Amino acid sequence: MTERNQEILKLAAEYEPYIIECRRRVHTFAELAMHENKTHAFILEEIKKLGLPYEEVPTTSIIAKLDTGRPGKVLALRADIDALPLAESEENLAGPRTCHSEQAETCHACGHDAHTAMLLGAMQVLTRMKDELNGTVLFCFEEGEEPNSGIDALLAALEKYHVDLCWGIHVYAGLEENKMSIDPGPCMAGATLIDVTFHGKSGHGSRPDLAASPIFCGANFLNNLSVAFGQQIGASKTVTMGITMFHGGEVSNLIPDKARLQGSYRFFDRDEGLKALALTKKVAKDTADIHNCTAEFGPDLLGGPVVNEPECSQVAQRVIEEIMPGTIVHCEPWFAGESYRLFLERYTGVFAFLGIKNEEAGYGASHHNNRFDLNEAVLKTGAVATVRYAMEWLGR
């Protein structure tokens, strides 16, 4: 093993207790998107201790800058910081949690507390190793990833830094503990919102002939859509359809004047996602005509998949396997979405998955589940991978 790799491992081991403590602090704060005030203050405090210049991006995102003073590439390292509006269970899959959210209806059920802690740990190590670096490292802490409400302001703030490369990491309950996947190509799904409101004519439940029921219109739309979807979406493409809400009417004897359906499509081919969206609108309009209703659509909110750049994926796989043999594995693409896709649409880079699954110890509940828990044994691995990737591009 090279001397540099040994130094990275040594420093990561030194800072492992710090990373774990950071994760626990952020977990207890558990703040919703655009309101991560305690989390913001804590991150800022750690940046100031290192004496790094920083920029606060409205409302709670932060960019810290490690400038070596030597010419080289600009590398953006990103972590998200927000939590979910979900009540946390007292236990994970096997027993009591290590730490708990202070907020009764808010918790880190996706792993953003871990992402924040690993980036803070990497920031400590890279600052210690500054003399071995060229160029600039930007430590980007992104607010509001869950609703995609902070990414635009953060990317706008990054424009002046002329970023060359980017790196992001997400803990993953579907992957074994301390395994990492950085496969080239699409690794997380794109998504588009399904949001249709059928407007009909209200009336008494005893005389449906004098009304135009959006309830039957919506029900027929679901049947028509499922048939059209199965027949017209490419057989070689993967597009999932999840209808999650159907709301219409309030009482038993009144036909309402509108009914609303919502859900989402997930896909790895953007064109096929657009095709599914267009098909939805066509079926909705045609079904509405049959029922003497009209169809109104919400915003499309189409987001593409997260796509790893092949060369960067190969580099990441090579250097991480070199420093931590047996770490890199293949992983099937994840059907969840991520705002980090916009980083990769703008900059060359990768998004790594870090496995946390250890069912015997209680780690393995799916993300956005009240029994999801973070396996702290993986935090050092994530910090080492982040530092090693940075060193490969910026090392002197």
Q: Report the SS3 class of residue 63.
A: strand
Residue 208's CB is within 10 A of a number of other CB atoms, namely 13
- Measured CA to CA, the distance from residue 363 to residue 83 in angstroms comes to 18
The amino acid occupying position 294 is T
How far from the centroid of its chain's Cα atoms is residue 77's Cα? 15
Q: Report the SS3 class of residue 97.
A: coil
CATH class of 190-297: alpha beta
Query: Mean per-residue pLDDT for 169-183?
Result: 98
pLDDT score, position 357: 98
The amino acid occupying position 159 is E
- Measured CA to CA, the distance from residue 245 to residue 263 in angstroms comes to 7
Tell me if domain 3-187+306-394 and domain 190-297 are identical in fold: no
Residue 172 reports pLDDT greater than 90: yes
How far from the centroid of its chain's Cα atoms is residue 33's Cα? 13
Domain ranges in the chain? 3-187+306-394, 190-297
DSSP letter for each residue of 280-333:
HHHHHHHHHHHTT-EEEE-----BPPEEE-HHHHHHHHHHHHHHSTT-B---PP
Mean pLDDT of the chain: 96
For the chain, how big is the Rg over CA atoms in Å? 24
Between 358 and 302, the higher pLDDT residue: 358
Over residues 118-153, the pLDDT tens digits come to 999 999 999 999 999 999 999 999 999 999 999 999
pLDDT score, position 236: 85
Over residues 295-309, the pLDDT tens digits come to 999 988 889 999 999
pLDDT score, position 251: 94
Closest CA to 292 of 229, 372, 209: 209
Q: What is the CATH number of domain 3-187+306-394?
A: 3.40.630.10
